[in-house]
Structure 1
Amino acid sequence: MLHPENDINNENYRNKIYLGDSAELLAKLPDSCVDLVVTSPPYANQRSKQYGGVKPDDYVAWFVPIAEQLRRVLKPAGSFVLNIKEHVSTGERHTYVMELVIELRKKGWLWTDEYIWHKKNAFPGKWPNRFRDAFERCFHFTKEKSFYMDQDSVMVPMGEWKEKRIKYLSGNDLERHSSQVGNTFAKNIANWAEREKAYPTNVLNIATNCKNVKHPAAFPEELPSWFIKLFCPEGGVVLDPFMGSGTTAVASVKLKRQFIGFENKREYALLSCLNINKILGFKVSVPTASRSESRIGMSNMEG
């Protein structure tokens, strides 16, 4: 059964949840040991009750040293997915997320893509100068231009548009042709006539968590699962340096990947272990502040 650990053993560090500061724990991991980092760190001025909060003007300086360690432990073909969203301050969006992206590029990260998590069940509301937030960003960074990406693993059904569009194919659709507006995109819709699935867009329509997961900012399991399938090979290692309730680790176990999780609040480190143990079939009880933190790993998953 899994319990939080306080120190990293270089010989046996995978499939464990560590209780402690991410920056300090990252420094103890070996180089190039992780296939994918997927995480949602505390947003600026958010969750101050749980995590103390980081001021927007200090956010870049706080996160960059962590990102440098993430780059060191990531394999050359690995990916780093950062789920983050700036907040509104005095009537306008703060710029700390943009500033962070620019600074990460200066530190050697390649900003490969940006995915939009569309929260299709976002709570309704009304504000005098804007509409409700219904999306968050998932920035995709890599170390190299060539990286692991299994696009077939996230293909989606073609949908009803296929029958309608294929039925009325025009001459241009039957052969590959250049864009009429002069860009380099070219298409041949006829090639998809016999296919049942297509590649997705970079907009992910995923509902937020609506049930009580005992954590104030847990993202839905479907979100890390999508990136794990796309950017981490089976048996690979997924790291979440801000593990929270353990969602990334649970998704990794279900998808036959290994995991490493860091969490600096004991309550949530215990909650992560509880959720992982449930997936592994152990009989578990609700964690308490006095529960033992014996060091027991998951050797049956070690690779």
Structure 2
Amino acid sequence: MNEDSAVTTLIDSEAAYNSDLGSAFQGDSRELLEQLPDNSIDLIVTSPPFALQHKKEYGNESQEGYNDWFMEFVPEVRRVLQPHGSFVVEIGGAFKQGYPERSPYQFQLLNRLVDPDEGGMHLAQDFYWYNPAKLPNPIEWVNVRKIRVTDAVTHIWWLTPEINKDSAVEEGEHPHPEANNQRVLQEYSDSQKQLMESGEFNDGKRSSGWNIDSEAFANDNDGSIPDNLLEGFQSGDILDRLDEFSAKEFLEMVSNEDIGDLSAGEMLRMLGMGGNTADNVIEASNTASNTHYLKMCREFDVDSHPARFPRQIPEFFVDFLTPNPPYDDWEQGALDRPVVLDIFAGSNITGQIAEQKGRYWMAFEKEQKYLDASQFRFLTEEEIRKRYNSDQSDFGDFATLSED
């Protein structure tokens, strides 16, 4: 695609492809990690194959050997991370084979990760991905015998090699240079500040002047928007309480939405005013079917990765755990801006998000076909058509992409 990016200076292997800010590499992450210098990565965000009952086409370890397999990556992960760096792992649960009993494998793994004599990591905080569109699995226990409910929440662990007890925010607006993994990212808009000053916005309780988090509200309205609140939005009375920019931004965000279908929490979160979802819960449905990546996979008859991150997960953690550009005074990392790595890259949504956010990125992926397809995230449809060799029956390896 492009010439070598800056991150290729950190590794001996040749990149499978490059973008303006990052590079993707094919191979076993255990071996690729060994090539990176000490303290060269600022953030690792990844979703490894889970310890599921059945073998998936993208490869996954059995429940019995999963934790031993995963721990093989950890010494190198810890070595390559900056002291302020973070290791974010999304890891789903599983039922035991043939029984309606949950496997505790991911909790046992967490214990090993934070064991000073083994993983040596620190658990900074636990997060949860709530997928309201999650399908029942396994169907035997959820839909057939109805003795379990749909498993709609996946654990995400934020780990770090070191914990800094100092405040992450100086009195100015810049994060504390020694505590990037302890950043306090709550930045208030003018409208939020006005509400807090008036006593109508209680940040400690994450509620607002409309008391959307109260038990009475939940019971009386069954989670829906009450008529007076809905009428207030539709008439513009509530929007009048916000600064001009916030109101305009909100109207643009809901221009394609039926405002009556939004929950109170969704509406207020769109306004940047909190809501009734805890901050360490990321709500995202992984049901997108018409993204650029998927459309190009269908167009060129290429296998898309079957277990993709929703973009909200890497987006949240890239924003949360790395500073925003410009990086004129960036002196914290191995390069002149933060480096984000995904060691189980799959379709490389992490790299795409990092690129969009102005960070450097690296992607490690063992399966060649998924790495091939992940290029689509960095090419326009016109560029793909120009580069694609129509004489080949399969998109195949990179030889089928013309650089003309």
Does the aligned pair in 1 maintain the 2:43–2:339 contact within 8 Å? yes
Percent identity for Structure 1 against Structure 2:
28
Counterpart residue number, 1:181: none
Q: Secondary structure at the match of 2:162?
A: coil
Residues 111 and 11 of structure 1: is their aligned pair in 2 closer, same or farther, counting only changes over 3 Å?
closer
Residues 123 and 233 of structure 1: is their aligned pair in 2 closer, same or farther, counting only changes over 3 Å?
same
**1:52 equivalent among 41, 59, 76:** 59
Q: Secondary structure at the match of 2:157?
A: strand
**2:371 equivalent among 261, 269, 281:** 269
Q: Secondary structure at the match of 1:245?
A: coil
**How many residues are matched?**
267
1:76-131: CA deviations, max 9, x gaps?
00111100012111221112111110111112100111101111222366253210
1:243-298: CA deviations, max 9, x gaps?
000110011111111101000111111112221234xx97114781143299x9xx
1:220 counterpart = 2:254:
no
Residues 32 and 293 of structure 1: is their aligned pair in 2 closer, same or farther, counting only changes over 3 Å?
farther
Whichever structure has more strand as a proportion of its residues is 1
Q: Secondary structure at the match of 1:79?
A: strand
Q: Secondary structure at the match of 2:384?
A: coil
Matches within 5 A, 1:1-303: 1-2=1-2, 9-10=9-10, 15-45=22-52, 48-89=55-96, 90-106=99-115, 107-123=119-135, 126=143, 128=145, 129-146=147-164, 147-148=179-180, 149-152=183-186, 161-165=207-211, 197-198=273-274, 201-211=279-289, 213=294, 214-234=304-324, 235-278=337-380, 283-285=383-385, 288-292=395-399
Residues 227 and 165 of structure 1: is their aligned pair in 2 closer, same or farther, counting only changes over 3 Å?
same
Gaps of at least 5 residues in structure 1 are 169-192, 297-303
> How far apart in 2 are the matches of 1:103 and 1:40?
18
Does the aligned pair in 1 maintain the 2:133–2:287 contact within 8 Å? no
> How far apart in 2 are the matches of 1:154 and 1:282?
40
Report deviation, 1:210: 3.0
Does the aligned pair in 2 maintain the 1:238–1:258 contact within 8 Å? yes
> How far apart in 1 are the matches of 2:344 and 2:156?
15
Counterpart residue number, 1:186: none
Q: Which moved more, 1:45-54 or 1:262-271?
A: 45-54
Does the aligned pair in 1 maintain the 2:78–2:161 contact within 8 Å? yes
Q: Using CA pairs below 8 Å that are at least 6 residues apart, which structure has the higher relative contact order?
A: 1
**How does the TM-score come out when normalised to structure 2?**
0.58
Does the aligned pair in 2 maintain the 1:246–1:276 contact within 8 Å? no
Does the aligned pair in 2 maintain the 1:117–1:205 contact within 8 Å? yes
> How far apart in 1 are the matches of 2:149 and 2:4?
41
Does the aligned pair in 1 maintain the 2:53–2:95 contact within 8 Å? no
Residues 152 and 73 of structure 1: is their aligned pair in 2 closer, same or farther, counting only changes over 3 Å?
same
Question: What amino acid maps onto 2:316 in structure 1?
Answer: W
Question: What amino acid maps onto 1:152 in structure 2?
Answer: Q
Q: Secondary structure at the match of 1:78?
A: strand
> How far apart in 1 are the matches of 2:65 and 2:345?
22
> How far apart in 2 are the matches of 1:215 and 1:47?
17
Question: What amino acid maps onto 2:150 in structure 1?
Answer: R
Does the aligned pair in 1 maintain the 2:100–2:148 contact within 8 Å? no
> How far apart in 2 are the matches of 1:154 and 1:209?
31
**How does the TM-score come out when normalised to structure 1?**
0.76
Report deviation, 1:21: 0.4
Does the aligned pair in 2 maintain the 1:37–1:79 contact within 8 Å? yes
Compute the RMSD of aligned alpha carbons: 3.6
1:165-218: CA deviations, max 9, x gaps?
49x9xxxxxxxxxxxxxxxxxxxxxxxx99964596211111213316411100
Does the aligned pair in 1 maintain the 2:11–2:35 contact within 8 Å? no
Residues 4 and 256 of structure 1: is their aligned pair in 2 closer, same or farther, counting only changes over 3 Å?
closer
The structure number with the bigger radius of gyration is: 2
